[in-house]
């Protein structure tokens, strides 16, 4: 990974978001899916583990400059090429990074930075940037392309030269006047005026030269040594663009994306290891992966004292801390967007401005917001929203609103809580999104809904409980697709199903849901439900809710699920659904193609020795519009 998260220590609870470099999360979806790691959290400063510039300098070769013969800027490819495939050119990527929270995008653009302010890397002076009057601003290469050509780049491939010219490690935003004075001079003949700026400057030059195998001259190394004598612990920055691999070499470890490892229907799936005992998130009792102890009560389970209702935590930190300079927590060397939102409204702005690789890290507190993430990441650079269990998103009441609404693709949501909303998480048309280790609780209707063609997305290791607070018949823990009567609303055509296919529901605890724990609708196919624990799920009887899992789709694999039998008729029910009487006569009462067909169910067990059925198959009556 390319860079650490920076966590800001605060003296009191407040709502906060930190953004991390795109490169730092390149493999997050694959790693989450494999169950190997989560999004890393590093509480130490960004430089803590970085080698010093002195150490890196020892690895840089010393030679005389080669001739400049043959050099042109065109040798380094298209100017400001989009090498990270985020659909934005490199120059705007760097402006977005360096202007940070002051950056304002142009109308109707998710890429072009219209205005803002920054601290010049060379002088530290604050410069105001405007796209309409850009003459005072430059994005400079710390090691220029001409210097690179004369110290090794002449022999590179065109691809490597293109990457070098657009590598964020080598790019800084500066005032144009100082940039012009520097020109193509190396550090032996030009460096910033102050010691601190010189230390940062030479450290970055050394890092770039070492990364690309460029050499330095004897005169420049002498300057490096003299400057670093004043800052011997100056870290060498790391990260930036990935270098091209040698032809024919496989990528280390390979890459996968959410949903790539979905097993074929009927195949055996080994669920991720989960703890067998322990306390539930945020309190005592039984939590995800736990087995209820006889005589004990899990949080919110029947037999425990009734909950007094959701207690809304105080909205602390709704205003920035007085006198705090919110720009000092981030530096250019962290190679990241410098957003530092301090309020719910700033969180919304961060979500609106999210681009591939943006990471938003919440600290404990209540975010009273119907948060929408409409931007998309990429398989290699997802958008990440993460935080601890006591970072809570809420719409403000169980009667209306969705806690988190995702219409973009390649989004990772990790660790946080969604509570006190009509719907917890709603995904519409999302591809490759991962919900990992979240809690969804005290919800009016369903907890998590995969809808409107959401495909190859994942819900894993999460705790979904206490749903259906306002409408018990619609209180599913997880809902996949749309009922036939809602197809037109989802797809625009009442004969076209909602193809929310290939989704993975794995290793979750689904508890105290008034309707089914998982309700898979007709028209969906190819998904997997495995290794989940159902505790008092699907018990209300409202809207025919009497099972853990209702399976009306086709080609689903349902394996190794377990839980309690109290209050249900069956653990798993497969339904063959007919077109309802409200449909045209030529199709009404005929079977919906594929509904209830070719599903594989195995390994279902009760943990309480209950008398309910493990499996049943239902052929629904014609009037049934489930």
Contact between 257 and 456 under an 8 Å Cβ cutoff? The reply is: yes
Task: At 535, give phi and psi (nearest 5°).
Answer: -120, 110
Residue with tokens 């800027």: 73
Query: Residues 89, 92, 98, 100: what is their CA dihedral angle, to the nearest 10 degrees?
Result: -120
Does 315 have pLDDT greater than 70?
no
Which pLDDT score, from 0 to 100, does residue 542 have?
58
pLDDT digits (tens, 9 = 90+) for 9-63: 222 223 223 333 333 333 333 333 333 223 333 233 333 346 899 999 999 999 9
Buried b or exposed e, range 356-374, using 16+ CB within 10 angstroms: bbbbbbbbbbbbbbbbbbe
> With bands split at pLDDT 50, 70 and 90, how would you rate the model's confidence at 273?
very low
The Cα 517–Cα 519 span in angstroms is 7
**Strand ranges, E, within 379-483:** 383-386, 391-394, 402-406, 411-414, 417-421, 423-428, 434-436, 439-443, 448-451, 458-460, 463-467, 478-480
pLDDT at residue 352, rounded to an integer: 82
pLDDT value for 309: 33
Angle between helices 218-228 and 195-212 (to 10 degrees): 130
DSSP string, 257-326: -TTTTPPPTT----PPP--SS-PPTTSSS--TTPPPPTT---TT-BTBPPP----PPP-TTSSPPTT--T
Reported as a single tens digit per residue, the pLDDT across 328-377 is: 332 222 234 434 455 677 778 888 888 888 888 888 888 888 899 999 98
CA distance 298 to 285: 5
C-beta neighbour count of 249 within 10 angstroms: 7
CB atoms within 10 A of CB 276: 8
In angstroms, rounded to a whole number, what is the distance separating the alpha carbons of residues 102 and 453? 36
pLDDT at 243 over 80: no
Average pLDDT over residues 198-207: 95
If one compares 606 and 337, the residue with the highest pLDDT of the two is: 606
| 401-423 tens-digit pLDDT | 999 999 999 999 999 999 999 99
Please give the residue that has the higher pLDDT: either 598 or 459. 459
List CB contacts of 229: < 8 A, sequence separation 6 or more: none
Query: Model confidence at 125, in pLDDT bands (50, 70, 90)?
Result: very high
Lowest mean pLDDT among 3-17, 208-222, 335-349, 489-503: 3-17
Closest to 522 (Cα-Cα) out of 558, 495, 494, 482: 482
Percentage of residues of the chain with pLDDT beyond 90 = 49
Place of tokens 């609106």: 352
Residue-wise pLDDT for 138-152, tens only, equals: 999 999 999 999 999
pLDDT at 284 over 80: no
Domains of the chain as residue ranges with CATH: 53-230 (no CATH), 338-619 (2.160.20.10)
Averaged over 235-254, what is the pLDDT? 56
Non-local (6+) Cβ contacts of 480 within 8 A are 449, 450, 500, 503, 505, 518, 519, 520, 521, 524, 527, 553
In sequence order, which ranges of 322-440 are alpha helices (DSSP H)?
344-352
Question: Given this model, what pLDDT does residue 246 score?
Answer: 43
Phi/psi of residue 75, nearest 5 degrees = -65, -20
Q: Give the mean pLDDT of 182-191.
A: 95
CA pair distance 510, 301, nearest whole angstrom: 12
8 A C-beta contact, residue 104 and residue 113: yes
| 299: confidence class by pLDDT, cuts 50, 70, 90 | very low
Least confident of 12-16, 170-174, 494-498, 500-504: 12-16
Percent of the chain residues topping a pLDDT of 70: 73
d(CA 485, CA 625): 7
CB 498 within 8 A of CB 521: yes
What is the three-class DSSP state of 327? coil
pLDDT at 378: 87
At residue 540, the pLDDT reads 56
In the prediction, which pLDDT does 571 show? 87
Structure tokens at 394: 């809420």
**pTM, to two decimals:** 0.53
pLDDT in tens, 519-555: 999 999 999 999 999 988 766 555 566 788 999 999 9
Does residue 514 contact residue 467 with C-beta atoms inside 8 Å?
yes
Residues 300-314, mean pLDDT to the nearest whole number: 31
Location of structure tokens 């780049």? 153
CA angle, residues 83, 49, 202, in degrees to nearest 5: 65
Q: Which residue has the tokens 């919440």?
A: 362
Q: What pLDDT shows up at residue 494?
A: 85
Average pLDDT, the chain: 76
The pLDDT-based confidence of 269 (bands split at 50, 70, 90) is very low
Query: Which SS3 state, helix, strand or coil, does residue 182 take?
Result: helix
Please give the pLDDT value at position 100: 79
Q: In whole angstroms, give the CA distance from residue 272 to residue 460.
A: 9
If one compares 551 and 238, the residue with the highest pLDDT of the two is 551
């Amino acid at each position: 990974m390319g860079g650490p998260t920076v966590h800001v220590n605060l003296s009191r609870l407040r709502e906060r978001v930190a953004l991390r470099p795109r490169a730092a999360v390149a493999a997050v979806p694959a790693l989450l899916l494999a169950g190997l790691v989560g999004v890393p959290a590093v509480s130490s400063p960004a430089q803590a583990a970085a080698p010093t510039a002195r150490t890196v300098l020892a690895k840089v070769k010393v030679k005389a400059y080669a001739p400049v013969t043959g050099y042109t800027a065109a040798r380094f490819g298209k100017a400001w090429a989009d090498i990270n495939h985020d659909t934005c050119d490199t120059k705007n990527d760097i402006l977005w990074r360096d202007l940070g929270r002051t950056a304002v995008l142009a109308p109707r653009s998710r890429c072009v930075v219209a205005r803002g302010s920054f601290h010049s890397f060379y002088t530290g002076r604050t410069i105001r940037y405007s796209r309409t009057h850009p003459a005072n601003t430059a994005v400079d290469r710390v090691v220029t392309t001409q210097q690179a050509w004369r110290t090794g780049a002449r022999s590179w491939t065109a691809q490597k030269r293109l990457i070098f010219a657009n590598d964020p490690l080598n790019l800084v935003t500066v005032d144009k006047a100082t940039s012009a004075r520097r020109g193509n001079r190396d550090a032996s003949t030009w460096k910033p005026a102050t010691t601190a700026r010189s230390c940062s400057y030479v450290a970055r030059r050394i890092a770039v030269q070492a990364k690309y195998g460029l050499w330095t001259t004897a005169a420049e190394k002498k300057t490096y040594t003299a400057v670093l004598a004043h800052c011997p612990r100056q870290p060498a920055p790391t990260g930036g663009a990935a270098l091209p691999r040698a032809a024919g070499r496989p990528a280390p470890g390979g890459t996968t994306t959410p949903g790539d490892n979905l097993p074929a229907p009927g195949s055996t799936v080994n669920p991720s290891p989960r703890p067998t005992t322990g306390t539930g998130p945020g309190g005592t009792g039984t939590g995800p992966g736990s087995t209820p102890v006889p005589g004990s009560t899990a949080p919110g389970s029947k037999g425990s004292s009734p909950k007094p209702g959701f207690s809304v935590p105080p909205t602390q930190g709704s205003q920035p801390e007085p006198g705090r300079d919110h720009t000092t927590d981030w530096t250019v060397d962290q190679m990241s967007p410098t957003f530092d939102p301090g309020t719910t409204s700033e969180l919304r702005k961060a979500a609106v401005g999210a681009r591939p690789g943006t990471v938003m890290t919440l600290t404990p507190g209540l975010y009273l917001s119907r948060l929408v993430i409409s931007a998309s990441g990429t398989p290699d650079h997802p958008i990440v929203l993460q935080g601890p269990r006591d970072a809570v998103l809420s719409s403000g009441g169980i009667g209306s609103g969705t806690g988190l609404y995702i219409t973009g693709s390649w989004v990772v949501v990790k660790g946080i809580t969604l509570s006190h909303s009509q719907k917890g998480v709603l995904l519409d048309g999302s591809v490759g999104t991962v919900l990992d280790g979240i809690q969804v609780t005290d919800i009016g209707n369903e907890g998590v809904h995969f809808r409107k063609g959401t495909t190859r997305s994942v819900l894993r290791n999460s705790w979904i409980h206490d749903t259906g607070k306002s409408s018990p018949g619609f209180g599913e823990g997880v809902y996949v697709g749309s009922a036939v009567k809602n197809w037109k609303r989802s797809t625009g055509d009442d004969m076209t199903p909602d193809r929310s296919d290939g989704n993975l529901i794995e290793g979750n605890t689904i508890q105290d849901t008034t309707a089914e724990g998982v309700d898979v609708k007709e028209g969906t196919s190819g998904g997997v439900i495995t290794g989940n624990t159902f505790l008092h799920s699907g018990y209300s009887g409202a809207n025919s809710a009497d099972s853990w899992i209702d399976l009306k789709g086709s080609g689903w694999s349902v394996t190794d699920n377990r839980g309690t039998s109290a209050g249900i008729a069956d653990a798993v029910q497969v339904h063959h659904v007919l077109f309802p009487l409200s449909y045209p006569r030529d199709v009404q009462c005929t079977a919906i193609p594929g509904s209830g067909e070719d599903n594989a169910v195995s390994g279902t067990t009760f943990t309480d020795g209950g008398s309910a059925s493990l499996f049943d198959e239902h052929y629904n009556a014609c009037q049934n519009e489930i």
